[in-house]
Amino acid sequence: MSFAGLFGGFSDVAALIARMLPPDFYQLSGIISATIETLWMALLGTTIAVLISFPLSFGAAKNTTPNKFVFALCRGIITMTRAIPDLIFAAIFVRAFGIGPLAGILALGLHSIGMIGKMFADALENADAMPREASVSTGASKWQAIFASILPQATPTMIGTSLYRLDINVRASAVLGLVGAGGIGFIIQSALRSLDYPSALAAVSVIFIVILAIEFFSSKVRASILGERSASVVVVRSQSERSIRRTGRDRTLLVDAVTMRSLVPPLTSDRKSRIISVWVYVIMLAIALGTINMPIFSSFGYFDDAWRIVAQLVPPDFTTARSELITGMSESLAIAFISTTLGLFIAIPLGLLSSRNIVVRKMVFVGTRSMLVVFRGIPELIIAVLFVSAMGLGPVPGTLALTLVTAFFMSKLIADTFEEVDPSPREAIFATGATRIQELFGSVLPQAMPALVSQILYMLDVNLRSSTVLGIVGGGGIGFLLLGSIRVFEFGTTGAVVFSIFVVVYAIELVGSWVRGVLDKAN
């Protein structure tokens, strides 16, 4: 890796950015229409993934699964959907259903199960066991105890994961446009192929606004669920008169509900916020189903075509492109390990600075979160194009591009994990006179460590699959061979690539499960 080559290519990056500015909005109506279609695609795809992942996660979590066979089956399904890149799903569905949003929705939905199902299962496994034991001691059945004690602890993570996956799926449309899966990705890809960079930047700018709105909505929903856990335990921030009145009114409602032994939760401000959020989601889902142009019922007859294409992936052909497969997988593994390591060094301090219960000054965490949203709004394909233009083709620009993507991705997950820790141990340590640094290492990190380990290992296999995208624009890895085999219909080679990725991803999954078990025993 030559950093001299990176710094020497800054002039080329500057020239490319100059060619992008100012963004050209001459196709604004078409961009807005495609962005709306992208939003509906992401919303429907994420909803499909959540509905499938929720029951899968209970079978894939060691503390909720009925038996080892169900555990292995559910983990295998989750790993398989994560190992197959969304580009493969999109290519299969486009060939079966034709160009349009339906192929993109199904691709996003199936691939998202890999992330959402894993994060849901890990959230269930990381739940404190003592509330469950207390529920069982009162005579509750196994599933009553799970839904009364484990699920409430995992709910903030589940909602945060779902909302975060929504903005990932909005950005993923830039890649799905390569194979004609609809949405804003088709416009971005057309602009890049014709070197019309101002139009591409205009489309990316609109996507950024949508991601910013999703981030704001996600932050509000999570804050209403976390409640006082999302606030700093060191300094009580100054509140406006309106906020003080609202807090007093909520406290009165809670006291009255306890005094009167009410069976219905009081309608506090946070509960109102959650109810409104649910209705907003339901309305948006209804609009998406009513306005997006996709022949749902008439498409059922085409699933036979999809199965025929899937059948062509088996058996995998490891002979036709053996040398390219070995070289590509080796580069992809190197890119994944290096970018994950470098990205983590950047993500940890950014995650701390964007945690509202760690940083006392509101301006700091709001500013850091805003900066992260800005960078997360840029599709990884655009970042890879910038680095390739600076350093030329090869795995090094792909690694550096993925390092930045990893840093922005992980910092969000790390911040959310820190915000979900129990404040009681923190208050106990502060009561002994500990400093903020001592409190961080003594109470926050031990609570967050199991989730952080899961996220780091998950990021490793995400980066392995992301290298398939980087290879498309010359960023090294297995992506060039993968996309090339799809385009020339060598599905045996495609199956070999997918199988190789699955083996590595499943190995990382086993390592992660073992590490979490060790941490649980240590705690």
- 329-349 pLDDT, tens digit each: 888 888 888 888 888 888 888
Taking alpha carbons only, the member of 84, 77, 152 closest to residue 118 is: 77
Domain 20-230+275-311 in CATH 1.10.3720.10: yes
Taking alpha carbons only, the member of 114, 104, 42, 43 closest to residue 77 is: 114
Q: Considering only residues 175 and 426, tell me which one the structure prediction assigns the higher pLDDT.
A: 426
For the chain, percent of residues with pLDDT exceeding 90: 1
For the chain, percent of residues with pLDDT exceeding 70: 81
Question: The domain 315-523 is classified under which CATH number: 1.10.10.1200, 1.10.1270.20, 1.10.3720.10, 3.40.50.1460?
Answer: 1.10.3720.10
pLDDT at 238: 46
Amino acid in position 421: V
Say whether pLDDT at 119 is over 60: yes
Taking alpha carbons only, the member of 481, 477, 463, 72 closest to residue 316 is: 481
Residues across the chain: 523
The band of 236, judged by pLDDT with boundaries at 50, 70 and 90, is: very low
Using the structure block, give the residue that is written with the tokens 């691709």: 107
- Alpha-carbon gap, residue 493 to 322, rounded angstroms: 9
Residue 301 has what DSSP assignment? G
Taking alpha carbons only, the member of 432, 429, 433 closest to residue 421 is: 429
Domain residue spans of the chain: 20-230+275-311, 235-266, 315-523
Q: What is the pTM for the complete model shown?
A: 0.72
Are the beta carbons of 58 and 75 closer than 8 angstroms? Answer: no
Residue 24 has what DSSP assignment? -
Indicate the average pLDDT of the chain: 76
Say whether pLDDT at 5 is over 60: no
The mean per-residue pLDDT over the stretch 82-108 comes to 76
The reply to whether domains 20-230+275-311 and 315-523 share a CATH topology is: yes
pLDDT at 475: 62
pLDDT at 237: 44
Taking alpha carbons only, the member of 84, 113, 105, 42 closest to residue 464 is: 84
Q: Considering only residues 77 and 507, tell me which one the structure prediction assigns the higher pLDDT.
A: 77
